Structure 1
Amino acid sequence: MEISNSVQLETNLYNLKKQDEPRGLVYGTIPELTHDTDSVQISTEGRQLAASAVVEHTARYFFTPQINESLSRVLQNQSSEVQETVYGIIQSNFMTSGNSDEESAALRELGMTQAGYIAANYMQGAEAREFMDTIRRIVAIANTKTTDPETGQVSYATLPQRPVGAPEDYIKSTDLMRLYEPETLEALENALAENKDWANILTSFTLKAINHPTWVKDYRAAVAEQVEEMQESVGSSRFQSASTASLADFSAGIAQLIAGDAFTDTRFLTNNMAAFIRKLGAFA
């Protein structure tokens, strides 16, 4: 339905008043004001407070529906400071860039210990255990990091994904296609991109997979082996002996352990720990 001859009501007071005459700047003084130059003095303490109050907002990474759903659930009742700290650990300690393999390993271990502090001081029971289990799964993914020597592009191993609430034995048809009929997967992707009959391709492959039960059996065995290898890659942390009794104790313990580490330059660790404290808050 089209409405013609409509009238737009004007709500801009300047337009309604139609102040068309030119306007210019008027120079002069106001007798009631001193017109002295005003200045603001900021104390050293104030400058330090301003610097420490700067908190960077971190990115949110997507791993698998299960990992992200678990993180969201255990963090939903936490303060914004705790949430930012956790996602800061993931970004700065686990999904690192620009560090050597040895430095990345140290950052991952420090991140696991920082996550342990969060679990010990802000969570309890099953919630804390689920949080640390999820953290270890993220570390397992981070441990698979590879860097292309020519392009510098970073990649990680991908775990099979299933929708939240789907049964444990859920398998995506496209995962089977990728392994057993990559040409069918290519045809499916082309059909989707060109808005053609992709449903028939997917249905035909699903029926074929039903008649090849060894595909599912072998696929599950391969996935189980991959998951086991990734989980075994997550060892202990060289920083795990730091006390979690308080943030001050934790910071002091980590500083002592960093000082005793083999790295000649430990600034990448001390700066990371400073960011952790800054996000979480000053000492109580």
Structure 2
Amino acid sequence: MEMAPLSFYRTTIHGLDLSIDVNQRQAAQLVNVDKSAMTLDAEQVQISQEGRKQLQDDIISQPAHRFFSSDIDNALSQALADQPEQVSQAVYRIIDENLMNSSALNGEQRQASLALGLSQAAYLAEHYINDEQKQSFLDAMKQIAAISQTRTTDEKGNVSYYNPPSYIPGTTEYKVDWSAIMKEKEPEKYEKYREALESGDAVKGLEEFISFVSTAAIKHPDWGREYQNNAARQVNELKQAEISNPFADIDLSTPSGFMSGALEVLKNAFNEPTLQYAVKRIDQFFASLPDISR
């Protein structure tokens, strides 16, 4: 079957530089926001049939590298810094296919897939991850599993998850999401902002956003600090979340021991289709790993 070339639009906004410190009562600092100086490029990029085939091959062979927060990303990067590519790919495949359940077909498969993903991560920590990085690696994987349990689906079938905040570079304070604050504090202004962006009027959308932030920085400096405090509380709740894992006690010493323990749990707690689905995933997991050298 012949495939039509894919295309998409890449947009770039030039001339915007917005800076604000939530700990200071100040107006937002905006550089080069004159409409005449601000431009919005919309460049159509086409993907040829050859490029599309290569893209499909890459999608099949390369798991997605999802970004959750700077904290989680740093923990994973440090744990995988000296690891062979197979281990790195195994970790991101666990995240994509097990913890975020991209390939599961129903709720029971998602439950089994997530729990197995945590135990597979524990196997990797036991045999590959350096001792000083083990706990932070496992904590990061557990946080991702907790994020996956915040899954919601809207009336159109779109799936979304809680998006944890990231630190301001060089600090232990969380970045402030002013659009989230706008949505909560001034929903009518937020709707105008959202509608402008969805209609393609980026300049008008940015004007709405900048107007809100500039006013909030002077009249409501507590909003930013309130957001950061709530963010810290939510991240702590995420870290403390209890994740049920019926595979928690299976043998991690060898692949055969892992499979034997997993099969026992699957037979007792899950139906046959889920068992077959999980066994296939476990086989793929161990087949992708390099020989253990330590």
Give the TM bin, normalised by the shorter chain.
0.5 to 0.7
Aligned-partner SS, 1:235: coil
Partner of 2:148: 142
Letter in 2 for 1:179: E
**What count of residue pairs does the alignment treat as equivalent?**
229
Partner of 1:219: 227
Paired residues for 1:1-284 under 5 Å: 56-97=61-102, 98-148=104-154, 150-185=155-190, 190=196, 193-195=201-203, 198=206, 202=210, 205-265=213-273, 266-281=275-290
- Distance change (3 Å), C-alpha of 1:70 and 1:231: closer
Structure 1 length-normalised TM: 0.68
Output the CA distance in 2 between the equivalents of 1:257 and 1:218: 45
Output the CA distance in 2 between the equivalents of 1:275 and 1:197: 46
Letter in 2 for 1:244: L
Q: CA deviation at 1:162?
A: 4.0
- Distance change (3 Å), C-alpha of 1:126 and 1:164: farther
Q: Is the 8 A contact 2:108 2:270 kept in 1?
A: no
Q: CA deviation at 1:197?
A: 9.3
- Distance change (3 Å), C-alpha of 1:59 and 1:186: same
Q: Is the 8 A contact 2:193 2:204 kept in 1?
A: no
- Percent of aligned pairs with the same amino acid: 28
Q: CA deviation at 1:138?
A: 0.8
**Stretch moving more, 71-80 or 222-231:** 222-231
Letter in 2 for 1:61: R
Q: CA deviation at 1:173?
A: 2.9
Output the CA distance in 2 between the equivalents of 1:218 and 1:95: 30
Gapped runs of 5+ residues in structure 2? 1-59
Output the CA distance in 1 between the equivalents of 2:180 and 2:165: 8
Partner of 2:44: none
RMSD, matched Cα: 3.1
- Larger % of strand: which? 2
- Distance change (3 Å), C-alpha of 1:206 and 1:195: closer
Q: CA deviation at 1:114?
A: 0.4
- Distance change (3 Å), C-alpha of 1:99 and 1:140: same
**Stretch moving more, 132-141 or 251-260:** 251-260
